[in-house]
Structure 1
Amino acid sequence: MTGRSARVRRLAAALLLTLACQWAPVRALTGPPAPIARAGQVVTWAASADRLGEGAAGRGYRLIVHTSVAGSALRVRLSNAFGDRPLTLDSVRAGLRRTGAALVPGSDRPLTFGGARTVTLPAGTVAWSDPLPGTVPAGADLAVSLHTPDAAGPATGHAMAMQTSYVSQGDHTAETSGANWARPTGSWWYLDAVSVRPANPATGAVVALGDSLTDGWQSTPGLDRRWPDYLARRLHAAPTAVKGVANEGMSGNKVLTDDAGTGALHRLERDVLTQPGARTVLLFEGVNDLKAHTGVTAADLIAGYRTIIRRAHAAGLCVVGATIGPFAGWSEWDPAAEAVRQEVNRFIRAGGEFDAVADFDRVLRSPHVPERLRSAFDNGDHLHLDDAGMRALAGAVDPHALDCAR
């Protein structure tokens, strides 16, 4: 038996370790998402939601996501946040991915919502599933399969997954084989969070709020090499109670405006503050605000940071501020943007308003030309990072700084 085969069998065995089947109903929400999925739950995977093309009736999606923290009583959060009409999902299932779209035999089971296998989400709402008996390991490829008979209008999802998922026509959600899931998609559809109940009730999570650098652009697709993925692996082995990692990066995102997706100030509630078990938010945003020649000043960006800090603190979360990395050589760089970056970074380091600091700029900058990325981390466009740069960012985070309380 190969090492990979043995690992797959161990993961399947863990997922099949079932508990007594006791369903706890959760209704689709008609306002802001509920603060938590259920007491004791911790987010194990998440992705920022945005408008994602047009929904299509009769379509199925097999969505591949990677867990960060292990636990039982798995729940998924489905989202119709950007829909303009009700969305019905008549089959939602979760199992372990073996390879491609194929599942580990026997690992896949149906999810329910308030005891029913069909759920309808009104426009603008989300819904948490009932808890699924059994345990899910850390670092597992989870396959969430869903089918919608009537989707139309704006769809909700995450465009740049850096992970291949699969699409079918018709309801093939209960099939272990990947034969009817031949069409790949690079996006996650209608799914924006997964939570579990860890064995240790003291376990918490960190939410990474960022842009394309956090979303993982230019990391190797399909290998989970975004910096939050590297961080999750560090936390798994670290003596800290923070084990869950939610990646709320969105390509092109800004702090202050909604030019590329909903800005950080406007998505903070949905993407960060309502994540179950969230203890800390790691804020790594701002380069898109200052590089676009929109006239954003350091005072503007600092005011945005202060709003995020105040709202996170009011919700009981700590905030770690990450300094903005260098980007000289990118087409939008100029001395004025660099001056703003330096002033903002001085505030992050010395302002005393963040609970802790992750000095990403110090790690990323060239020792010879500090306005530029280290060549070893530069993917070639002088802004985005290769896998080595992603690993370096994760290494710059102090795990103990994430395990704070307010």
Structure 2
Amino acid sequence: MLATVACQTGPAHAFPARTASRHDVVTWAASADRLGEGTADRSYRLVVHTSAAGSGARVRLSNAFGDRPLTLDSVYAGVQSQGAGLRPGSNRRLTFDGARTVTVPAGATAWSDPLPGSLPAGSDLVVSLHSPDAAGPATGHGMAMQTSYVTQGDHTAEESAAGWTGTTGSWWYLDSVSVRPPDPATGAVVTLGDSITDGWASTSDLDRRWPDYLARRLQKADSAVKGVANEGISGNQVLADGAGQAALNRLDRDVLGQPGVRTVFLFEGVNDIKAHTGVTAAGLIAGYREMVRRAHAAGKCVVASTVGPFEGWPEWDTAGEAVRQEVNQYIRTSGEFDATADFDRILRSPYDPARMLPFLDGGDHIHPNDKGMQAMADSVALASLDCDR
């Protein structure tokens, strides 16, 4: 069942604005990247699926890739009923330092004030926002694997779907949601990855990315880690910018800058390997070591997974396979991570270890299907996500 946002008494401004507090935990996130051009007088109704439960929900708006200030004059949050329609009475206006309008400088982000009420785990939260004059490069997440809604004019306060005339497969200007869990010991894990983590080849609108399956396992488990933030970008690389900033270059904003993060789950490298740009195992390993050093310096644990098989993908070759095997040997045996997972072992065929098991293959020999996504999540040792640092 979808949950409603329950009303509470007391002023929303009792919590500090703009910056999530130390007891807040990220419950949903998506990596910011460059989208198309901003459109003036456009509204977006963005559907996101939360992980950790808590009160005082905040949203983080991002203008990270904008070249001018972004003004949002109406931002609401409610609970999805069906499509663009919201559960009656659930849509609440969000404020920013008590104001209904917020202007986010170019390159910056802004946290809302906390929303009165509690948000159960696994809620389909809907954030509606409107900009009167958006222009220039827009910031958002391109491949959402989730249908959201757009329209011209300000329809953010409406709970009906009637005014929402278009759809979008991206999340615009929104990159994080946090809550304050009832237990202050609650933390979150951030999954840092590429299109596999982003969910490509999983079923859209059903939350079947492997981090979604992991979040559902954590909700049922006796674990202090409840929040799961998906920071995958399709085509992303560890070392080079291109499809989004390289993992090394977005680590601070997308991972270490999220509230309540206890653990970084690193699953990247296949795009570096198949790019045929001269990337070596030594180069990739140096990139992993740099991320581990920075995460540990920030007091975060790091869990790393082996790189999955991809023979059959057009860019596969024996040289790249040799790099993958050397990198995977390092991940399994170096002892430099707080823990490891072995997605390669879970996904590969016993008859051809360079290929994905057909039963788990999404069809292109590199992206797992829903069953593959679930198998990956099921293989993660939940205790490994809650180490002491």
Q: Which amino acid aligns with 1:233?
A: R
| Aligned match of 2:78 | 95
1:16 and 2:16 correspond? no
From 225, 234, 245, the equivalent of 1:251 is: 234
SS at match of 2:248: helix
Q: Which amino acid aligns with 1:17?
A: C
SS at match of 1:199: coil
1:127 and 2:118 correspond? no
1:104 and 2:49 correspond? no
Identity among equivalent pairs (%): 70
1:26 and 2:26 correspond? no
| Aligned match of 2:335 | 352
SS at match of 1:376: helix
Instruction: State the distance in 2 between where 1:133 and 1:237 align.
Output: 26
SS at match of 1:239: coil
Instruction: Report the TM-score when normalising by structure 2.
Output: 0.99
Is the CA contact (8 Å cut-off) linking 2:17 and 2:114 kept in structure 1? no
Instruction: State the distance in 2 between where 1:149 and 1:294 align.
Output: 43
Is the CA contact (8 Å cut-off) linking 1:279 and 1:317 kept in structure 2? yes
Q: Which amino acid aligns with 1:395?
A: D
Q: Which amino acid aligns with 2:365?
A: H
SS at match of 1:331: coil
User: Per-residue displacement from partner, 1:255-274 (whole Å, max 9, x unpaired)?
Assistant: 00002110100000000001
Which runs of structure 2 are paired with 1:158-169 in the superposition (5 Å)? 158-169=141-152
Instruction: State the distance in 1 between where 2:135 and 2:219 align.
Output: 40
Instruction: State the distance in 2 between where 1:126 and 1:25 align.
Output: 16
Please, what is the CA RMSD of the aligned residues?
Answer: 0.8
Deviation, structure 1 residue 20:
1.2
| Aligned match of 2:269 | 286
User: Per-residue displacement from partner, 1:223-257 (whole Å, max 9, x unpaired)?
Assistant: 00000000000000011100000000000000000
| Aligned match of 1:241 | 224
Provide the aligned length of Structure 1 versus Structure 2. 388
SS at match of 1:306: helix
Which runs of structure 2 are paired with 1:184-333 in the superposition (5 Å)? 184-333=167-316
Listed as ranges, the gaps of 5+ residues in structure 2 are: none
Q: Which amino acid aligns with 2:341?
A: A
Listed as ranges, the gaps of 5+ residues in structure 1 are: 1-6, 28-33
Instruction: State the distance in 2 between where 1:182 and 1:388 align.
Output: 34
Deviation, structure 1 residue 279:
0.2
Structure 1 segments, 4+ long, off by >2 Å, are 24-27
| Aligned match of 1:30 | none
| Aligned match of 1:42 | 25
Deviation, structure 1 residue 25:
4.7
Is the CA contact (8 Å cut-off) linking 1:89 and 1:147 kept in structure 2? yes
SS at match of 1:311: helix
Instruction: State the distance in 2 between where 1:306 and 1:136 align.
Output: 37
Q: Which amino acid aligns with 2:17?
A: V
Is the CA contact (8 Å cut-off) linking 1:25 and 1:113 kept in structure 2? no
Q: Which amino acid aligns with 1:245?
A: V
Deviation, structure 1 residue 370:
0.4
Deviation, structure 1 residue 39:
2.1
Instruction: Report the TM-score when normalising by structure 1.
Output: 0.95
SS at match of 1:200: coil
